[in-house]
Amino acid sequence: MGNMAKGCALFGGALLVLLLLLGGCGVSKYNSMVAGQESVEGAWSGIQNQYKRRFDLVPQLVETVKGAANFEKSTITAVTEARASVGKLQMPEGLPEDPAALEAYVKAQSKLGSSLSRLLLVAENYPNLKASQNFLGLQDQLEGTENRIAVARKDYIDTVRSYNTTIRKFPNNFIASSFDFQKVPQLEFDDDVQEVPSVDFNFDNKD
């Protein structure tokens, strides 16, 4: 009986140690998923902030180019309509959950970027705009914003890829399903809109 009791005690102790190890491992994995989710939310917020910055710059840019005689009305209209489309498709607070809504939002943002690129290309033909400090200042702000958008999108894509991979791995997938860690929709771009619109113009070299 003594040996049996000792054996049971050893078995119970080993089982307790195993449960503590498993519990500690589970807590660690859960915490890493929470941290990953927070990172994704931060990356998404970064994109939203830069998109909003660009959205807010558009009216000032449009009003500035309207001052140029005979500026292409179709180009201004395209920018205005693209901005309106973006405004109608603003994403809700928090992480995007609907892949279709995210795709529509990204396409609208890409269309706005392309229309702005076209507007700035057309502006090269207007000497009064090229000499306007207000226009040049807006152009510089837009260029910086486009660059930050590109960086923010890359950060989001990388962060989402890491997070989605983490919650799919074994045994993380059991913890993820138990605590409702959902896969986050990834950003997807068509081949013709993946490049950041070019807004870097060297006006000094123009006639």
Q: Please, what are the domains in the chain?
A: 45-196 (1.20.1440.20)
Residue-wise pLDDT for 163-188, tens only, equals 999 999 888 888 888 888 899 999 88
Contact partners, residue 122, CB within 8 Å, separation at least 6: 71, 72, 75
How far, in Å, CA of 92 to CA of 101, rounded?
10
Given this model, what pLDDT does residue 155 score?
95
Question: Which of the 8 DSSP states describes residue 180?
Answer: T
Given this model, what pLDDT does residue 204 score?
42
Given this model, what pLDDT does residue 69 score?
75
Given this model, what pLDDT does residue 197 score?
42
Q: Collapsing DSSP states into helix, strand and coil, what is residue 196?
A: coil
Average confidence score pLDDT of the chain: 82
Q: Looking up tokens 């152009």, which residue turns up?
A: 139
Q: Collapsing DSSP states into helix, strand and coil, what is residue 201?
A: coil
pLDDT mean over 22-46:
83
Alpha helices in the chain (DSSP H): 2-66, 73-88, 99-123, 127-130, 133-168, 172-178
Given this model, what pLDDT does residue 62 score?
94
Q: Are 175 and 30 in contact (CB under 8 A)?
A: yes
Instruction: Enter the tokens of residue 69.
Output: 């005689």
How far, in Å, CA of 40 to CA of 37, rounded?
5
Instruction: Enter the tokens of residue 195.
Output: 């490049």
Residue-wise pLDDT for 107-131, tens only, equals 999 999 999 999 999 998 999 898 8
